Amino acid sequence: MKANNSLAFSPSEKVTGWRLFIKTIGARAYPRVIGMQREKSWMFFDVFLPLLAVSAYVFVYRAIGAPEEYVGFVVVGGAMTAFWLNILWSMSSQLYWEKEQGNLALYIMAPNSMMAVLLGMALGGLVATTLRALAIIVLGSLIFQVQYSITSFTQLIAVFFLAMTALYGMGMMSASLFLLFSREAWHLANLAQEPVYLFSGFYFPIKSFNFWLAAAASFIPLTLGLDAMRQLIFPSGALLGFLSVKFEITVLIILCVVFLAGAKFLLDYMEKLAIREGRITENRR
């Protein structure tokens, strides 16, 4: 009798090297992007909630008689909170969640690079979060009639991508640190929310701070990214900018290199440390 070929075991093509690296990135990014299509209730929670916060801050500015461009500052800042929340809850603490669910050991056992796993998380998170941020900007701009005046599309796109690269590099770096955490991971991510909204100037221009405080806050890529974007899209943005856009772009490039290299170094180190201390499969609830 002739065997049924469709049931025969056929090993898939063995992928190694950079192909495996790319494939791992795609595989880890896939659930983040596809998950959005399968579970559409995110639109309510991930767009509606930040929009409520944005609205509250807009009405505060209106109550104290602020110029209308501050409303635009809040809308753009509110949209960018989506990226910070994504970094905190879906990048930094992701390896902790994976450990809790038992996936982390599988990631490490599999013959792929952990760096590729983190890059995939970052890429998928970036695509998904950009859609959320865009929805907040569009809705916020329509509701509060925000006027934009873009001075340079090229610089705006460069600033956005550099800020995101540096930010997600930072997220990858902190993910490796969170590898060692247990219950405290949730609390530490929760703790890092409002202080960063404050120091990165999500709802006001960072120039309002003392120079050195603003310079220290620039360590978080969103600080300079947001400041540069505001300078490029609002007529009075340049007057309220912390540094010149060109200088901020230069600093963002440096931050990209520092955070991506730091992520690679820390991930290698922390993975070894976590394996040595037996924390990959621990579950201290």
Partner 1 sequence: MNHSESFRSFTMATWLGWQVESNWADPFLFAIYVIIKPLAGAAILVVMYSIITHGNYNSPLFPYIYLGNAFYIYVGSVMTGVSWAVIEDREHYKTLKYMYVAPINIPFYLLGRGVSRVLIGTVAVIVTLLVGKLFLHVPLDITKINWGLFFISLFIGVTLLAMMGLILASITLMIVNHNFFIGDAVASALYLFSGAIFPLEVLPAWLRPIGFAMPITYWLELMRRSLIGNVAQAFPTLARFSNLELISILTGLTIIFGIASIFTFRWCDHRARERGLIDRVTNY
* Token pair for 153: 């599309």
* Token pair for 105: 């050991």
CB of 10 to partner 1, least distance (A): 32
Return the number of the residue (15 or 188) whose C-beta is nearest partner 1: 188
Distance between CA atoms of 249 and 128, rounded to whole angstroms?
A: 24
Residue bearing tokens 């520092």: 258
CB of 197 to partner 1, least distance (A): 6
- Dihedral Cα 145, 130, 31, 269, nearest 10 deg: -140
Return the number of the residue (201 or 221) whose C-beta is nearest partner 1: 201
Q: Where are the alpha helices (DSSP H) in the chain?
A: 17-38, 42, 49-63, 69-86, 94-101, 104-109, 114-144, 153-178, 184-191, 193-199, 211-217, 221-233, 245-276
Distance between CA atoms of 75 and 69, rounded to whole angstroms?
A: 10
Interface residues toward partner 1, by CB under 8 A? 39, 41-42, 44-45, 48-49, 52-53, 55-57, 59-66, 70, 101, 182-184, 187, 190-191, 193-195, 197-198, 202-205, 208-209, 285
CB of 75 to partner 1, least distance (A): 14
* Token pair for 122: 């970052």
Q: Are 92 and 171 in contact, with CB atoms under 8 Å apart? A: yes
Return the number of the residue (161 or 204) whose C-beta is nearest partner 1: 204
Return the number of the residue (173 or 185) whose C-beta is nearest partner 1: 185
CB of 68 to partner 1, least distance (A): 12
- Dihedral Cα 166, 168, 174, 175, nearest 10 deg: -150
CB of 88 to partner 1, least distance (A): 13
Q: Where are the alpha helices (DSSP H) in 39-152?
A: 42, 49-63, 69-86, 94-101, 104-109, 114-144
Return the number of the residue (90 or 165) whose C-beta is nearest partner 1: 90
Return the number of the residue (192 or 273) whose C-beta is nearest partner 1: 192
CB of 183 to partner 1, least distance (A): 4
* Token pair for 21: 């690296």
Return the number of the residue (214 or 267) whose C-beta is nearest partner 1: 214
Q: How many CA atoms lie within 13 A of 104 on its CB side?
A: 23
CB of 14 to partner 1, least distance (A): 31
